[in-house]
């Protein structure tokens, strides 16, 4: 059985430095509610690199700068505890496909991570042996979401959406969207891979809620949808079954 743990990261954990364990049989997903860290934004921003600080400064709205500082500060804090180092010693670079990865003295071959944030929620996924991707989305009113689905979804997914009663369409849209985003983030393809070029095979779900993906180069990948907190949809993507699965 895949062991995917969903955990909460709250404000008191910023003061903890004890090493974190990441068993090879687990994918760990932490989620954090960004307003809980409002009083410590400057502290988290101080952990960022010069490049990250410049990226943060390019956001026009203060709320976006705060969200960036909290998300990336927590990312550094968690990685430092997994790798037993200091948050400021961690260096990132974009890999061959633009996906962030560790480099420099802290880079290790068997450590993978991914991050997503939407509205007031941050999700951070970690694994020792699997390329992973995570996505969360705030479920909100989007007037033209059915048109968006027609453009971005595979015809199979669009057909499912159209077959649903109106009361269930919005939830399906966000569930499907997060699954697709998690997959292209896991592969590192991002927007270079059209979202309509593959589909999430919901009729092939395992007993543990794991979904398969159908499309070119997608056979080895799996998706686990999850509900981070009420009002959000989430999904984590990984390659193959984790050990013990």
The tens digit of pLDDT for each residue in 3-27 reads: 889 999 999 999 999 999 999 989 9
- Does the predicted TM-score (pTM) go above 0.85? yes
End position of a domain, from candidates 131, 159, 178:
131
Using one digit for the tens of pLDDT, what is the confidence trace for 122-133?
999 999 988 899
Gap between the Cα atoms of 148 and 116, Å rounded = 21
Which domain range does residue 213 map to? 136-239
For the sheet containing 121-127, what is the strand order? Answer: 3-8, 26-33, 121-127, 112-118
Which domain CATH number covers 113?
3.90.470.20
| CA-derived radius of gyration, the chain | 18
Same-domain status, 18 and 96:
yes
Q: Do you know the residue count of the chain?
A: 245
Same-domain status, 15 and 31:
yes
Q: What is the mean pLDDT of residues 126-144?
A: 93
Q: Give the total number of structural domains in the chain.
A: 2
Same-domain status, 124 and 143:
no
Same-domain status, 37 and 123:
yes
């Amino acid at each position: 059985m895949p062991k995917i743990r969903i955990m909460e990261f709250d404000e008191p954990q910023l003061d903890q430095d004890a090493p974190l364990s990441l068993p090879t049989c687990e994918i760990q997903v932490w989620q954090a509610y960004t307003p809980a860290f409002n009083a410590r934004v400057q502290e988290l921003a101080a952990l960022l690199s010069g490049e990250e600080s410049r990226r943060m400064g390019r956001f026009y709205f203060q709320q976006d700068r705060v969200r960036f500082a909290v998300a990336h500060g927590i990312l550094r804090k968690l990685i430092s505890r997994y790798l037993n180092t200091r948050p400021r010693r961690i260096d990132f670079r974009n890999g061959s496909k633009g996906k962030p990865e560790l480099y420099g003295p802290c880079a290790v071959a068997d450590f993978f991570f991914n991050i997503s944030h939407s509205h007031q929620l941050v999700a951070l996924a970690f694994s020792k042996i699997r390329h992973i991707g995570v996505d969360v989305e705030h479920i909100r009113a989007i007037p033209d979401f059915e048109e968006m689905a027609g453009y971005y979804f595979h015809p199979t997914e669009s057909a499912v959406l159209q077959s649903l009663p109106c009361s269930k369409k919005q939830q399906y849209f966000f569930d499907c969207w997060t699954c697709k985003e998690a997959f292209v983030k896991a592969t590192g393809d991002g927007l270079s891979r059209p979202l309509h070029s593959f589909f999430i095979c919901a009729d092939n779900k395992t007993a543990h809620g794991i979904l398969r993906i159908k499309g070119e180069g997608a056979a080895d990948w799996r998706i686990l949808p999850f509900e981070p907190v009420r009002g959000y949809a989430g999904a984590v993507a990984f390659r193959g079954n984790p050990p013990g699965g």
